[in-house]
Chains A and B, each alone.
Chain A
Amino acid sequence: MSSEEQTSLQEQQFMQKINAEEKIEPKDWMPEKYRKNLIRQISQHAHSEVIGMQPEGNFLTRAPSLRRKAILLSKIQDEAGHGLYLYSAAETLGISRDEMIEALQSGRAKYASIFNYPALTWGDMGAIGWLVDGAAIVNQVSLQRTSYGPYARGMIRICKEESFHQRQGYDIMLTLANGTSEQKAMAQDSLNRFYWPALMMFGPHDSESAHSAKSMEWKIKRETNDDLRQKFIDQTASQIEFLGLEHPDKELKWNEERGHYDSGEIDWEEFHNVIAGNGHCNRQRLEHHIKAHEEGAWVREALVAYNAKKQAKQAEVA
């Protein structure tokens, strides 16, 4: 058999597995583009968890009650943990964490654009948990069925924790919305600023999405951007109503025939602008990450040196 014939046979077997809803595992053969596509998506997801610690970390030291501070700490701890699983999942595809971090810091790899919006008030801790984690869950629930085994299993674990994050965010909003008029205004302001960026988290319209078609065929992605976004719009409408806040989308209207809400158009210019690196916090987020990484260099070097000394001592004894 020629190598071309062999590749095409492997590709057939690979597609058969995908079509039979079997998981692809690290040692299985996979097309190079499938591998690259997954590395891009999983590392982007890992980076999002890690960069996402910054806007919330920004309010840890100002949390207005000890109870809220404890919850926020626990949430951020989960996020760092998610970052770890996801980096590990990506490593099974033959890339190292160092390489992924380098790609993040040089701007080649992306993270969720939502974190390029500033967290300005305590209300934003509510809006981020409720809307940002909420949008992430809608996407991640569908990714529990993604075709790559380590990613799918990671998602199952992550989803359980994310739903706690969303509930705590909504609980902050509920407390604010039922609080003083100033607190209610704080909640409304946070909702207004985070609603549209949360919708943008689902990515461009399906017709515009660069990676969508192939990702759907390979079952990396299980539902389209627009379908997932619609789910989120539908579930959020009643939650906003329950809070007694004004909906930021003035065109939102129930469509009986479709069984969904119709909504106003997203500001795609803003979307592309933030992705291109021109959002409020793009530079700040990367600089923060690079600074921490550089300041930690001597610690990582010490660790290596200490372990080497220890090994040398053990070798001497043996």
Chain B
Amino acid sequence: MSDTIKDATIEYAIRLGDDANVLGHRISEWVSRGPFLEEDIAYANVALDYIGRARMFYGYASELTNDGRTEDDFAYMRDDRQYRNLLLMELPKEDFAYSQVRQLFIDIYYSLFLPELVKSKDDTLAAIAAKAIKETRYHLRRSRDWVLRLGDGTEESHRRTQRAVDSLWGYTHEMFELDDTEQLLADSGIGVDITQLRDEWHRQVSAILTEATLNIPEDGWAVRGGRIGYHTENLGHLLTEMQFVHRSYPGCQW
């Protein structure tokens, strides 16, 4: 592996790790707050999948950097300007409709992204993707069912779900943008060319929203910046909470 490719792969693993870590954190906030007990179980389960994914990606970044930094150093010892997750992951949990719509957007995204990453020339990334695909299939079944029920349920659930779609839509564009790092990895057969997935994502999302009697928003408004550490104000609060115990007792084993 050349140094350039290696550095890009480390950056890539950190980005994917940050996505999983931050989203896993947000989902875990639902535990004991779901609309009924079965949903508490489902939330804990999905959060666990994402924390597991974060550990695998950070673990790989740690292996490649080989400078003594552990998975926890990546999670707990970086500030929001150093975090590289997509903005969509860090938005607050809001209500059940908001969390399920976000999850639907992300689940469809991963259901397209992971089968491509499985083909990566990088064996570790391919293996992580292979494990994650199975989880994502189950996640998608759940978020899809919920968006259908909520969109086509009562007047209130419809209104809340449409509001969620409208507020989240602007954060979906950056999921499909490549910078130089990811372009290099895509060209080398290591990373995924996510620009190629956008149309299919749009097609699948539109089909579900339409079936759920929801409107598909216009594309005018787009927010971006997660991959360069230009976050929403939410991430700082999230990290403050996540990192508090770890940073209060520096250098400890847990």
Contacts and interface: CB of A to CB of B under 8 A. Distances in A.
A296 B96 contact: yes
A77 B148 contact: no
B44 A73 contact: yes
Interface string B41-85: 100110110011011001000000000000110011000000000
Given A180-B252, A302-B150, A306-B149, A292 B241 contact: no
A70 B51 CA distance: 6
Nearest to A54: B32
Given A62-B242, A84-B38, A68 B148 contact: no
Interface string A148-190: 0000000000000000000000001001000110110000000
Contacts, number: 137
B41 A81 contact: yes
B34 A296 contact: yes
B115 interface: no
Q: Among B37, B47, B249, which residue has the most Cβ atoms of chain A within 10 A?
A: B37
B254 interface: yes
Contact of A87 (B37, B156, B245, B253): B37
A292 B33 contact: yes
Interface string B197-229: 000000000000000000000000000000000
29 contacts: A54-B32, A62-B244, A64-B76, A64-B245, A64-B254, A65-B72, A65-B254, A66-B21, A67-B254, A70-B48, A70-B55, A76-B32, A80-B41, A122-B254, A172-B254, A179-B252, A180-B249, A182-B249, A182-B252, A293-B35, A296-B34, A298-B154, A298-B156, A301-B154, A302-B150, A302-B154, A303-B153, A306-B150, A306-B152
Interface of B: 21, 25, 28-29, 31-41, 44-45, 47-48, 51-52, 54-55, 58, 71-72, 75-76, 95-96, 148-150, 152-154, 156-157, 160, 241-242, 244-246, 249, 251-254
